[in-house]
Amino acid sequence: MFQGTEKYEGTQLSYDFKSQQGSISMGYSDADIGYYYGEKIKKVTPEVYFIKNGLYTTSNDRIDPEYYFFSPKMKIIPKDKVIAQSVFLYIEGVPIFWIPFGVFPNRHGRASGMIVPTYGTDATYGTYFSNFGYFWATNDYMDLTFKGSVFSKGRYDFNTRYRYALKYNFTGSFEAGYTMIRLGEDKDVDKFSSDEWVLNLTHSQKINPTTNLDGNLSFVSGKSYYNNSTNQLSDLLRQNVVSNLTLSKFWEETPYSLYVNYYRDQNLQNGNVTERLPSVNFTRSESFPFRKNLSATSNLNWYEYFSYSYSGQFLNNRVKQTVQNYLGQDSTYRDSRLGVSHNLNFNFSPQFELFNIKPYFNYTEIWYTKYITIKYDSTTNTLQVFDNNGLRAVRSFQTGASFNTKFIGIFKPNIFNITGIRHTISPSLTYVYRPDFSSDKWGYYGKYTDQFGVVQKYSYFEREVFGYPAGGESQAINIGVGNLFEMKTKVNDTLDNKFQLININVGTSYNFAADSLKWSELQTDFRTQVGSLLNIGGGATFNFYEFDPSVNARVNRYLLSTKGKLADMTSFNINLSTSFNLLLSNQPHTDEKIRDIKDSSEIKKEPPKKEDENKVSYNVPITGGFNYNYSESRENPLSVFKTNNISTNIALNLSEKWKFTFAASYDFINKQISAPYITAYRDLKSWEINFNWYPLGVYKGFFFQVRIKAPALNDVKMTKQTNARGVY
């Protein structure tokens, strides 16, 4: 029977058309989520039904459901809730538990209601009654959650979450958590007391088409909050809590943009906090003041190639650190530094047919409100650093020119379907000039005499937020050569396949103004790809000068003249990575099925092939990847640092219902496996199983959960998770 869009099924129906009341014997009726069945269903009003000896389930099997809630008395409010008295949960026909009453959702979307708690025993805190609370769907734009946990040995957890959203305008949330632990009596030697808390705020808002506000703020009392309140590996391994809040603004059809940012980094290991409160950035992107048609790029007058750009930043840094004094006692060190930076860049970039040349001039001016002075105290044999207040301006500049071009060579071997190999060489030269800003005429550096009578230089602005001008004159030429090898192969008469063979880059520089070690290290890197299977990349650096063990440094003697070799390798790294997507199957592919159908249509009277009854069909997709890293650092040949590790992740579906994932990494240097984990998922029609296992490490243990798949009933579950700290 249908009444409107509502459907009812049963063996016997009685209905009063005048009162619009009726009853169904042995009847079914669909709910918004699942369905309910009863020995007798009675409709009292359009908004209320009563069911005698009824059951409620979300199973698709009406004859033999995997699970159901049974109650002798049930009250149904369509599109709202199901209220039942004396509720039994049956799984595969076996009663599992009983509760005196139950309230189940009967509609899609959010609905206010109690949050079902969990209970059990923890090795440290005793018997617990956890995550009991209430969810309040305030309206279509916000909701509120309260949860609490109680442990028998003196622990209490409280947390709340408030969420809000207005479509196309803003979304956000506010979360707060508090954990209070009181283990032992006042007179116990091992008494433990702790009060930990956390606050999280997220907000994303489009104020107008050109203005956005986005933020993620987190504040926590310390590492102990995560250690005590969660078994989530990502939280337990967390080293820092980082907060960001950014207001961005740009002006349409102009080169102007503005960013205002708050940044906070809290180190959970030592409690140190670094804040930028605030950072304000204003930029004017590259502009061509003498160009009438801004979109034109050719047939321009020489002066139209002139451009400039500007960026300015205000930055206020605050630092809070825990330091030890000379007595070994902890004390809190606080410091605040601010500054304003202006960067003005001028470029001239005329176009030539065979090469590009680009002179430039960069000017920087920084305003500081503090500077330091250093004095050596011979009585205590220490350096004394003094902070001084006062507005100081720091000006610096750099100028130079860059030159680059390309040479292309093509080789046509005409073997193995190779139609051409192209080699592109991209040389570049850049000249850079920067004066010695540590000289006395600039006034940016001071001097002091150390305990050995040697005069030492220092910058007055070593502690400031934008740093200080570099010392030492630089007149350097940077040399770079890029090499790109590409190949083209013939697929058929009309189609070619083009791909990269290898990309190799080499670069170094020579400083004419340096008094020694004028050549910098030779930098090299490469990358290539073996089809779609393997990506290979790496690099190395080489030093042209001899290493002197007596001074533990490179000295101004060329290796070519002293040892007959060009250079020492000072670092090396290589990375190999691959990903795969395989299918292990004894079933025909789609194209094979199409061919079989086509072949069968051409054969008129071919008897069908008899399938092997003992043959087991399988179809197992496997995805994953491997990543290998090796690196060496040998700046000091007497002290070589190496890393050598491999990592993998694999996901496979052994069947339609079973899914497995595995991930691990192995350190060849320390000979140990790092952070392996295994997950398994099983689809049980109306139910599902999730299993996570961390077999090694400080937080080794497992997580096991069986729950109903229907989102409205996901609180009906059995969960167990363990690690070395016990059960939570």
Task: Chunk the chain into consecutive blocks of 10 residues (it has 728) and report each block's average pLDDT, rounded to whole numbers.
Answer: 52 57 53 70 76 82 83 81 85 85 71 78 82 90 93 91 93 94 82 90 94 94 81 76 95 94 92 92 93 76 92 94 72 90 95 90 96 90 90 95 94 82 94 94 92 91 93 93 90 80 95 92 93 90 94 92 93 94 70 52 53 64 93 91 94 88 92 87 89 81 85 75 54
In three-state secondary structure terms, 238 is coil
Shared domain check, 71 and 37: yes
CA distances to 29, 225, 366, 431, 435 from 472, rounded to whole Å, are: 86, 49, 19, 16, 7
Is the residue at 385 inside a domain? no
Shared domain check, 666 and 587: no
- Give me the domain span that covers residue 100: 2-108
In three-state secondary structure terms, 125 is coil
| β 48-57/35-45 pair status | antiparallel
Shared domain check, 633 and 725: no
Is the residue at 458 inside a domain? no
Is the residue at 384 inside a domain? no
Q: Given 73, 108, 143, which residue is the final one in a domain?
A: 108
In three-state secondary structure terms, 359 is strand
Q: Which residues are CB-neighbours of 694 under 8 A, at least 6 positions away?
A: 233, 675, 676, 677, 700, 701, 702, 723
Tell me which residue has tokens 């009824």: 54
Tell me which residue has tokens 């708050």: 262
Sign of dihedral through CA atoms 221, 222, 225, 231?
positive
**Secondary structure tally for the chain: helices H, strands E:** 4, 43
CA distances to 126, 158, 229, 236 from 178, rounded to whole Å, are: 19, 5, 9, 17
Is the residue at 212 inside a domain? no
CATH of the domain at 27: 2.60.450.10
Q: Given 55, 75, 108, which residue is the final one in a domain?
A: 108
Q: Which residues are CB-neighbours of 309 under 8 A, at least 6 positions away?
A: 283, 284, 285, 286, 287, 344, 345, 347
- Please tell me the distance from the alpha carbon of residue 451 to that of residue 359, in angstroms, as a whole number: 46
- Phi, then psi, of 62 in degrees rounded to 5: -80, -25
Is the residue at 83 inside a domain? yes
Is the residue at 185 inside a domain? no
Residue 162: name the closest of 181, 175, 179, 148 by CA: 175
Shared domain check, 68 and 7: yes
Please report the pLDDT score of residue 464 as a whole number.
94
The H or E element spanning position 224 is: helix 223-229
For 417, other C-beta atoms within 10 Å of its C-beta total 12
- Do residues 433 and 468 make contact, with C-beta atoms less than 8 angstroms apart? no
Shared domain check, 682 and 635: no
- Phi, then psi, of 353 in degrees rounded to 5: -70, -40
| Predicted model pTM | 0.73
- Do residues 487 and 421 make contact, with C-beta atoms less than 8 angstroms apart? yes
Is the residue at 660 inside a domain? yes
- Do residues 726 and 123 make contact, with C-beta atoms less than 8 angstroms apart? yes
Please report the pLDDT score of residue 598 as a whole number.
53
Return the DSSP state at 471.
P
Shared domain check, 10 and 78: yes
Shared domain check, 638 and 691: no
| β 35-45/701-708 pair status | unpaired
- Phi, then psi, of 515 in degrees rounded to 5: -85, -15
Quote the tokens at residue 511: 């400083």
Shared domain check, 676 and 563: no
Is the residue at 493 inside a domain? no
Shared domain check, 682 and 589: no
Please report the pLDDT score of residue 728 as a whole number.
41
Based on the structure, what is the number of domains in the chain?
A: 3
Please report the pLDDT score of residue 45 as a whole number.
74
- Please tell me the distance from the alpha carbon of residue 75 to that of residue 48, in angstroms, as a whole number: 7
Shared domain check, 665 and 633: no
Q: Could you give the residue ranges of the DSSP H alpha helices within 277-339?
A: none
For 434, other C-beta atoms within 10 Å of its C-beta total 19
DSSP-derived secondary structure for 82-126: EEEEEEEEEETTEEEEEEEEEEEE-SSS---EEEPPEEEEETTTE
Buried b (16+ CB within 10 A) or exposed e, 128-147: bebbbbebeeeeeeebbbeb
In three-state secondary structure terms, 65 is coil
- Please tell me the distance from the alpha carbon of residue 8 to that of residue 699, in angstroms, as a whole number: 53
- Please tell me the distance from the alpha carbon of residue 66 to that of residue 706, in angstroms, as a whole number: 13
Shared domain check, 684 and 635: no
Distance between alpha carbon 350 and the CA centroid of its chain, in Å?
42
- Please tell me the distance from the alpha carbon of residue 646 to that of residue 165, in angstroms, as a whole number: 44
Angle at 221 (CA atoms; ends 215, 222), nearest 5 degrees: 105
- Please tell me the distance from the alpha carbon of residue 273 to that of residue 242, in angstroms, as a whole number: 10
Strand-pair partners of 211? 208, 249
